[in-house]
Structure 1
Amino acid sequence: MLLNVSYNNPERKEKINTEVGKAFSLAERIKMKGIGSNKLFITSTSIKIHNLLILDKYTNTCNIEMRPDGIIVSFRSLLETYALIIPYYKLKLYKGKAEEYSIYRDHYFIKVKVDNKSTHNFMKKVLDFKANHWTSSSQP
């Protein structure tokens, strides 16, 4: 689901927590050696996300945050922050060209350019976490 997360809204926060779980604690973040990606440059997107990104002239970037039951891909358009909420059971992550990853959820997708080894390692961490900590019994 694609949400505007610019403003603090308890109902929206609960909806996100239901979909991908609550944020990891500080101890868990340290143990996992980080749960967030570097800044990722967006190369292409699905039409709804594209329509948001073309509203300003800035470079299109995003970040990925890991959660216990999924990931959150965040990006900015104008002065608003948007989040693509992706539970692990709907996450499709593909490595395209050597320098590009595609992140899919249903009819939404974001393709990002990868220019360093730490981003490759982060994407591997997401896939490993999905495989090791999420089971098919976790589906709703």
Structure 2
Amino acid sequence: MLLNVSYTDKNITRKVDEAVGKPFPLKERFAMGGIGSPKLYITETSVEIQNLLILDNNLNTCNIEIRPKGIIVRFRSLLETYGLIIPYYKLKLYKGESTVHSIYMDHHFIKVKSDTQAIQRFFKKLLDHKADNMPTSIEDL
């Protein structure tokens, strides 16, 4: 689900927390070695996201936050912040060319450059966390 997360709204916060879980406590964040990605440069996106990104002339960047049951991909357009909320059971990650990672959920996708070791380590951490926390049955959703 693609949401405007610029402002504190209890309904949006509730939707995000139901989909991907509440943020990790500080102690767990340290134990995991951080839950956020480095700055990711967007190379290609689905139409709906592209329509938001072309509204300004800034460099298209995003970051990813790991949550207990999914991820949030955040990016900015004009003065607004948008979040692509992706539960693990809908998340598809692909490593395309040598320097591109693709993040898919339903009809949304974002392709980002993965040209540094830090970014590649983050995607490995994300895949490991997804494997450990995938629902094992339909009742777990």
TM-score (normalised: structure 1): 0.97
Structure 2 unaligned segments of length 5 or more: list them: none
Equivalents in 2 of 1:15, 1:128: separation in Å? 25
Q: Residue 132 of structure 1 aligns with which residue?
A: 132
How many pairs does the alignment contain?
140
- How far did 1:82 drift? 0.1
Q: Secondary structure of 1:115's partner?
A: coil
Aligned: 1:123 with 2:123: yes
Q: Secondary structure of 2:128's partner?
A: helix
Counterparts in 2 of 1:40-51, with a 5 A limit? 40-51=40-51
Equivalents in 2 of 1:132, 1:77: separation in Å? 33
Equivalents in 2 of 1:139, 1:74: separation in Å? 26
Q: Residue 90 of structure 1 aligns with which residue?
A: 90
Q: Secondary structure of 2:30's partner?
A: helix
Q: Secondary structure of 2:66's partner?
A: strand
Aligned: 1:63 with 2:63: yes
Identity across the alignment (%): 61
CA deviations on 1:11-69 (whole Å, 9 max, x unpaired) are 10000000000000000000000000000000000000000000000000000000000
Equivalents in 2 of 1:139, 1:65: separation in Å? 22
Aligned in 2, Cα 1:3/1:14: closer, same or farther, shift over 3 Å?
same
Letter of the structure 1 residue corresponding to residue 18 of structure 2: T
TM-score (normalised: structure 2): 0.97
Whether the 8 Å CA contact 1:93–1:104 is kept in 2: the answer is yes
CA deviations on 1:80-139 (whole Å, 9 max, x unpaired) are 000000000000000001100000000000000112101101001111111112232364
Aligned: 1:28 with 2:21: no
Q: Residue 114 of structure 1 aligns with which residue?
A: 114
What is the Cα-based RMSD across aligned positions, in Å? 0.9
Equivalents in 2 of 1:133, 1:54: separation in Å? 35
Q: 4+ residue runs of structure 1 moved beyond 3 angstroms? A: none
Equivalents in 2 of 1:77, 1:136: separation in Å? 37
